[in-house]
Chains A and B, each alone.
Chain A
């Protein structure tokens, strides 16, 4: 009924050519389509769809020089069943396991989850604590640049990408140290197929009963996903006594800025983010 124009390039080069040929530049980058199809009724009828999921350069996982490179069009299930990721970035696996369903994960891509730029995107918080960066390809300049992932987000579901720019790779630095604690937990409305009300990703180094360092990124509780630097600083070097845990809960409660929407209330999101931190810290203690 609705006629839409659609292209399916197989290489970045083809992508560039197609893009150059579209005068109005009213394109819509389509990867797995699992976010886009949900909102299909609201899509502009004039947009020209470019399905990038067939671009070979954008697929697969590679390990090079203590870094993992993930092609943006790699599906969530490809990541879930990738041994490299399983062993090297367990926190990402924990997150992906909580996402959607088997069928959706077969289509949904990591680049789409990031490109959608939702503060509830479940791969984003683990990648932020891992201090991942992303490669961005611009069809206008035909160049690739690398930026920290956190710099991509400009607001809820808004990114700094422009003029046909696409994410090509996600780059994750690996730790030399294998004894790193990692935590991911998501709270939704039910056990599966659920959008995050609040979540927490954390990685930490714990030794001599103290937190050497900790990196924290909660999901769905601020306009964009970001690190909790005040809470991290407070916890650094501390023994996890009940008093410290309580104080850290108060700090993170103030550091986030959740809203009330159809999925939950502001007050509840503050409460469960505090609980998630307590849960994370008690897991950290129990591990050691």
Chain B
């Protein structure tokens, strides 16, 4: 494949401001929906009463009583669309309202009184763990290999600590927005979402046993990062229910405040990790207790936990492991999918554990990482051999060179010893190795059975039909490149079908960095089939040859539709009980170096430079790949340094961008991005997962640099100034 550097096909319309997002849809006669929410973290609903003196004729009210199948179909089906007798988190939807405009909604809300009987609430992970109830464990996973933790008794040295990561808000540019449009017995749902078929599935369950049919269309989505994976199923149910009740189109769109306070977040984690090491820093055994704070309902926690467990040994060869993971219920807004999906939490723990090993043994951290890093042909604790598409060594080589890591390591040490007193600045340089399992965990893909379809049109154009959504990550452009490369068609001759469940097959959700690798490969296979039918397979042909062959074909045929269904190669198997086997069909790898400065007046961490090399198999679109990598790093820096969600008694205190702090252009380091292409035999042109990878390695590199600067292992993120002051001054400045 030639190197592609294509401007995104959606760029012009977005820059011109003419792209239509959900709020821009011209919907006639629509009602506006609003949500009445719990003001308690855990309580029984005693009564709901409506002010008799208020004119209710202009407001439609919908309660749990009217919802027959009152559960959002995700994994455990434990979350209701509307709370009935009990609320489990502050902000949980209790009632839905619909009215002509927002003003009426705001006023009506003031005339609804809900009485509660408060119940004991666990609004922090600690409270939930301490009360130790089996029903608070949404999922538990144990992965053991080798001697497990037996090595610990005879070991040379045990080095351990507790590592914590915080919440993170997705901060997609476009807040949640969905509409439902009734049309006879059908309800058309449109909205900002990643996974139209997840919504379709949830709606099928919701209206099971009724005459209602639903179809779902994704409208151009202004960012998602996982925040529009599971959450839209809830609010699509809300608008669908209201549309059915009122017989009118219903729009539900959150403003930023509602979005920040009540939608899903990244799972915070608390991980107790222990390493058994010999005097050279070789890791003999690893023991990890992973706790994820799931919030009030399970949503996707079981699979987030699975990825956390399977990422916990990082990029290292560790003969003996015991990894114990639990996803724990607490009385806060449910956590959900977020770029990295459990990986960032456990990768932070393993990387910082190694930092601690280095500091304890007084060996430079890179020496320890190098000594333990996987080599081609090594086996993971799951038994999976790493014997193809392993570009990590190349990534390491690249960043050591571009960053001059080893030279700066010495220089910065000297600087901190000799000059910091004068300048009031500490310098740090850190290094991280990161891994991201590509696509769904285990044999998830075999369960999904993704189908992608292509249709050759009479004018020689092709129609590409997948359910994979554009949310700013460039998938439409990637698909056009994949098809164009194979069929020699210009982009204009490749038409991407609307992501509407009545028009496109279920090619699976747009998550897990799978769209290019899994569905892109299906498209490539579809191209082969078309070429086969047109008798062009394995031939050299021009655009004109292709068009002529198409013309010939339509002389004797009416349509040409080809379909491919995905299945893993046969050797890829996984045991969900023991967690042994192929956790993922292949892995993407990255190596990262961060340079930071800490100001000793303000305790602010500033990331000055960031070097990264990412093995993505094949960069289908070079400039877009670089963009994704830069974006992932910035989001990772936000996670590591800036982004702090403040929860008090279960209530999110942040209201918007003024108090949920993300990095701005002034906080972004110089970035040096390298791409390594160690191809994957089963990806299109060798491509594997890219979207999440750059995020995963960023925070550990920054925390490693901070550890260097302050001479202590940074055991938790975000490393806000308050946390840094606490680490440096040995006194508590945190909340």
User: Is chain B a partner of chain A in the same complex?
Assistant: yes
Q: How far does the alpha carbon of A190 sit from the alpha carbon of B604 in the complex, in Å?
A: 8
- Within 8 Å CB of A265, what residues of B? 722, 733-735
- Within 8 Å CB of A268, what residues of B? 721-722, 725, 733-734
Q: How far does the alpha carbon of A192 sit from the alpha carbon of B657 in the complex, in Å?
A: 13
Determine chain B's interface SS by DSSP, over half rule.
loop
- Within 8 Å CB of A45, what residues of B? 103
Shortest 4 CB-CB contacts between residues of A and residues of B: A192-B666, A191-B666, A268-B733, A189-B661
A residues 168-215 touching B (CB-CB < 8 Å): 185, 187, 189-195, 197
Determine chain A's interface SS by DSSP, over half rule.
loop
Q: A263-B659, A267-B732, A268-B722 are in contact. Are A187 and B664 (CB under 8 A)?
A: no
- Within 8 Å CB of B735, what residues of A? 260, 265
Contact residues on A (Cβ < 8 Å of other chain), bracket: 20 to 34
Q: A1-B101, A190-B642, A279-B601 are in contact. Are A271 and B725 (CB under 8 A)?
A: yes
CB of B257 within 8 A of CB of A41, answer yes
A38 adjacent to chain B (CB < 8 Å) = yes
Q: How far does the alpha carbon of A279 sit from the alpha carbon of B663 in the complex, in Å?
A: 25
A22 adjacent to chain B (CB < 8 Å) = no
B residues 714-731 touching A (CB-CB < 8 Å): 720-722, 725, 729, 731
**The one of B601, B604, B654, B721 that contacts A276, using a Cβ cutoff of 8 Å:** B601
- Within 8 Å CB of B725, what residues of A? 268, 271-272
- Within 8 Å CB of B102, what residues of A? 1
Q: How far does the alpha carbon of A41 sit from the alpha carbon of B103 in the complex, in Å?
A: 11
Closest residue on chain A to residue B721 by CB atoms: A268
A23 adjacent to chain B (CB < 8 Å) = no
Contact residues on B (Cβ < 8 Å of other chain), bracket: 20 to 34
Closest residue on chain B to residue A189 by CB atoms: B661
Q: A265-B734, A268-B722, A276-B601 are in contact. Are A191 and B606 (CB under 8 A)?
A: yes
CB of B659 within 8 A of CB of A267, answer no
Please encode chain A, from 262 to 276, with 1 for each CB lying within 8 Å of some chain B CB and 0 for all others: 111101100110011
B255 adjacent to chain A (CB < 8 Å) = yes
Q: How far does the alpha carbon of A262 sit from the alpha carbon of B732 in the complex, in Å?
A: 17
- Within 8 Å CB of A197, what residues of B? 721
Q: A187-B601, A191-B606, A267-B733 are in contact. Are A262 and B666 (CB under 8 A)?
A: no
B363 adjacent to chain A (CB < 8 Å) = no
CB of B601 within 8 A of CB of A275, answer yes
Which of B601, B646, B659: most chain A Cβ within 10 A?
B601
A residues 243-288 touching B (CB-CB < 8 Å): 260, 262-265, 267-268, 271-272, 275-276, 278-279
A241 adjacent to chain B (CB < 8 Å) = no
Q: How far does the alpha carbon of A197 sit from the alpha carbon of B721 in the complex, in Å?
A: 11
**The one of A195, A267, A275, A278 that contacts B658, using a Cβ cutoff of 8 Å:** A195
Closest residue on chain A to residue B656 by CB atoms: A38
Please encode chain B, from 655 to 682, with 1 for each CB lying within 8 Å of some chain A CB and 0 for all others: 0001101011111000000000000000
Given A191-B667, A262-B653, 4 additional A-B pairs, CB 8 A: A191-B666, A193-B664, A268-B725, A272-B602
- Within 8 Å CB of B663, what residues of A? 190
A87 adjacent to chain B (CB < 8 Å) = no
Closest residue on chain B to residue A101 by CB atoms: B664
A2 adjacent to chain B (CB < 8 Å) = yes
Q: How far does the alpha carbon of A149 sit from the alpha carbon of B253 in the complex, in Å?
A: 44
- Within 8 Å CB of A264, what residues of B? 721-722
CB of B103 within 8 A of CB of A2, answer yes
B716 to chain A minimum Cβ distance, whole angstroms, is: 16
**The one of B604, B654, B667 that contacts A262, using a Cβ cutoff of 8 Å:** B654
